[in-house]
Amino acid sequence: MSGLRAPSNYTEEPPRHSSLIVNSQEPFNAEPPRSALIASYVTPVDLFYKRNHGPIPVLDDIERYRVSICGLVEKPLELSMADIRKLPKHIVTATLQCAGNRRTAMSKVKVVKGVGWDVSAIGNAIWGGAKLADVLELVGISKLTSVSPLGGKHVEFVSVDRCKEEKGGPYKGSIPLIQATNSDAEVLLAYEMNGEPLNRDHGYPLRVIVPGVIGARSVKWLSSINIIENECQGFFMQRDYKMFPPTVNWEIIDWSTRRPQMDFPVQSVICSLEEENTVKPGKIVVHGYAASGGGRGIERVDVSFDGGKTWVEAIRYQKSGIPYVADDISSDKWAWVLFKAEADVSHTTEIVAKAVDISANVQPENVEVIWNLRGILNTSWHRVHIHVQHPDL
C-alpha cells in the first residue's frame, strides 16, 4: 500500500500510557484499569484498550496514501485522504468492545485460548469520518442495497498489517452489503477519534467503525474495500470469533458450523470495585458500565448487594445534564451507559450487576452456561466480593 507500510518487527512501536495493563507485549494488547472507564463517558484515547495482531503500521507519506474500492463494482477507484475528507463528515459516538472482554473470568471455569482480558477491553469514543454508504455510492452502489449490480453481497475490509494468523498477510473482515449501505447503521470510514486524528494504535490514517458490532469487524489501517459475493474468508472471520457451545473442544471443533459473530450481547460490569475488596461497614457506592450491541439501548441495570437475593435498580446516565432514555433520539444508541447504585453494607457479601436491554435481553446468571473454547462473549452477571472489616472493639 503506497504511503502506508507494515513493519516486519516491533522496533517502530508508538508510545503508550504507563497505566495500561499489558496482556501481551508483541503484539501489543493492553487495557486500562477498570476504574479509568468510569472516570468519563468518553474514554480518553490513551486509555482506550489496544488490540493488535502484529507490528503497528507506519504512514510514511499521507499524500501517497490511497484506499482502493474494488471487486464486484462497475467503476473501481482509489481514494486519497483528501477525497474522503471531501465527503460529508459524520460524527457518531460508539462503544467498541473486544469479543474477548472478561475472558479471564471464563478461563477460571475451564482454560480457554486467547488474550487474557479482564473487564476493560471496551471503550467509548466519538468517531468522525465519512459514512461508508456515501463512499460506496462513488462506485455505483446505491444506499440500502443488499446485492450490487454485479452480484456483491458483502463488503470486505483489508488492513495493511501483518498477522501471524494470516501467515504474515493482512487482517481482514467483512459485513453484509445491506448494513454497509444503510445510512442509519452509521458505518464509518473514520479518520478522527475524540476530535483528533486517529493515532497509530487506533488505525491512523483510516479505519472502519462498525457500531454495535464486536471490535473485530472495525478494521484498522485500511488498505482496500472489496465488494464480494460471499463473506470474507479471512482467519478472523472463519476460524475465530465464533460462539460454540460448552460441549465443543479443540479435538472436535468444526468452524464451518457457526457463523461469524457480529453484534455483541448485553453486558454490564462493576468498575469502582476490584474482584476482591476489603472495606469498613457503611455505605458502598457502585459505578460501572452497561452496553448492548445492534443499537439496543439499556433499559435497566440491576444491582444486588446480597449475592443476588434482592435487587435495586441503578441510575443510568450518558451525557451530563441530559436524562438517559434508552430509545430516545437524545441518547447515543451505539454507546454504553454508565450506572450508579448504593447501599449500606455491614457484613461480608457479594455485589452483583446485570443489565437488560430494550429487547428484554438479559445477562446469563452463570459463566458456565456460556463457556466456549475461545473465551468470547462472557456476558454473565458481574460479581465482586466485599470483605467487611469491623474495627476492633
- Of 304, 358, 294, residue with least CA distance to 326: 358
* Radius of gyration in angstroms for the set of CA atoms belonging to the chain, rounded to a whole number: 21
Show the cell assigned to 193. Answer: 477519534
pLDDT at 391 (0 to 100) = 81
Question: Where do runs of H (alpha helix) occur along 45-87?
Answer: 81-86
DSSP bridge partners of 298: 357
Show the cell assigned to 73. Answer: 463494482
Dihedral sign from CA coordinates of 116, 120, 124, 128: negative
| Residue 341 three-state SS | strand
Question: Where do runs of H (alpha helix) occur along 145-282?
Answer: 177-180, 235-238
Environment class of residue 225 by beta-carbon count within 10 Å: exposed (0-12), middle (13-18) or buried (19+)?
A: buried
DSSP bridge partners of 259: none
Q: What are phi and psi of 272, to 5 degrees?
A: -85, -5
pLDDT at 1 (0 to 100) = 46
pTM for the structure as a whole: 0.97
Under 8 Å between Cβ of 149 and 74: yes
Q: Which domains does the chain have, with CATH numbers?
A: 4-239 (3.90.420.10), 267-388 (2.60.40.650)
| Residue 350 three-state SS | strand
Mean pLDDT by 10 residues, the chain (393 residues): 88 98 98 98 98 97 97 96 98 98 97 97 98 98 97 98 95 98 98 98 98 98 98 98 97 97 98 97 98 98 98 96 92 98 97 98 98 98 96 66
Show the cell assigned to 264. Answer: 455483541
Show the cell assigned to 386. Answer: 466485599
pLDDT at 158 (0 to 100) = 98
Q: Which DSSP letter does residue 104 get?
A: H
Under 8 Å between Cβ of 46 and 122: no
Under 8 Å between Cβ of 31 and 121: yes
How crowded is the C-beta side of 64, counted as CA atoms within 13 Å? 9
Show the cell assigned to 342. Answer: 448504593
Which uninterrupted H or E stretch holds 241?
none
C-alpha dist (Å) from residue 240 to 49, 179, 247: 20, 21, 17
Environment class of residue 391 by beta-carbon count within 10 Å: exposed (0-12), middle (13-18) or buried (19+)?
A: exposed
Which uninterrupted H or E stretch holds 107?
helix 103-109
